[in-house]
Amino acid sequence: MVGLRRPPAWCKRSRGAAIALDESKTLGKSREREEANVGAGLWKGVGMWAWILFRISGLILVAYLFVHIVIISQGEVGGPDTLDKLFEMFENPFLAFLDFMLVAAVLYHGLNGVRVILMDFGVGIRSHKAVFWFVMAIAAGLLAWFAVVAAPHIF
Amino acid sequence: MRTTTADIERVDRQKGGMWLWLLQRISAAVLLFGLITHLIATHILSIGELSYDNIAERLQSGFFITVDILLLAASVFHALNGTRMVLLDYFFKDVARRRILDVVLLVFGLAAFVYGLWALWPWITT
């Protein structure tokens, strides 16, 4: 935040100017609160969206986990052929794409989780937005690797 | 007497809210390591080749057996405890109902772990 400059001592303020100054002061304060990295600012902007996406990706992964357990267990329930047929079905480009989106959800949830744990230890609370973009850069890098490998199976 | 949020918080402190919090972090660390291993093994190294035999081959090694069992335990716990955290933000303000939710999640989690282990067994033992 740019600091508000106090008028010099010799400046004779009219009433109107004083009100304008006060207004800019309170506006500045509320803006400062909103853009702050701590306190209420933690739950605004980047911090809020990171949290909402963390929740949504988490719930998607919970749903997938139990589907995943049921699918892999078909090797024991219906035998090797049943499982191999299911794997063949997943060769479908659209399902391969969904699979890739799943990797994206895992990477987002995992790397944002790293930021959350760091904040639990008191690391990077004031710079949580910068930390967020830093871990997202790592997630994007890893996702690009998976994208390159998955692309021939999707297109 | 009606139970309040303060009562719930007190019960949580007495009955292991901290331990659940800590276990969520520990399972997160296990998942971070385990899932990166799991995803590289299945989505990079074996992409397009996944099959019953491919899994059997991988589970020849003690390393992957350990990773898979750890992943199963950590993911089921992390998923259900995470679900609990989300649900408690909106519902189950009443302590008695919360206890029911806890028991349901615990039974479901144990069942999912045992079922998953049973499903992995033929690969592990052969």
Considering only CB atoms, A80 lies closest to which of B52, B75, B118, namely B52
Cβ-defined contact of A91 to B48 (cutoff 8 Å):
yes
Q: Would you say residue B123 has pLDDT above 50?
A: yes
> Are the CB atoms for A50 and A132 separated by under 8 Å?
yes
For residue A129, which of A43, A61, A55, A62 has the smallest C-alpha distance?
A: A43
The answer to pTM > 0.90 is: no
Which residues 56-115 on chain B approach chain A with CB closer than 8 angstroms? 72, 75-76, 79-80, 82-83, 86, 112, 115
Chain B residues touching residue A76 (CB < 8 angstroms): 118-119, 121-122
| CATH architecture assignment, domain B5-125 | Up-down Bundle (1.20)
Tell me the H-state helices in A10-127. Answer: 15-35, 46-72, 74-77, 80-89, 93-120
Domain count, chain A: 2
Nearest chain B Cα distance for residue A106, angstroms: 8
Chain A residues touching residue B118 (CB < 8 angstroms): 73, 76
> Are the CB atoms for A37 and A45 separated by under 8 Å?
no
Question: What's the pLDDT tens digit per position in B32-65?
Answer: 999 999 999 888 887 878 888 888 888 888 899 9
What domain range is A81 assigned to? 45-154
| Predicted complex ipTM | 0.84
- Tell me the Cα Rg of chain B: 18
Q: How confident is the model at residue A107 (pLDDT cuts 50, 70, 90)?
A: very high
Two tokens at B125?
A: 């033992």
Question: What's the pLDDT tens digit per position in A35-69?
Answer: 555 555 556 678 888 999 999 999 999 999 999 99
A77 and A17 share one domain: no
> Are the CB atoms for A19 and A109 separated by under 8 Å?
no
**Is there a domain that residue A69 lies in?**
yes
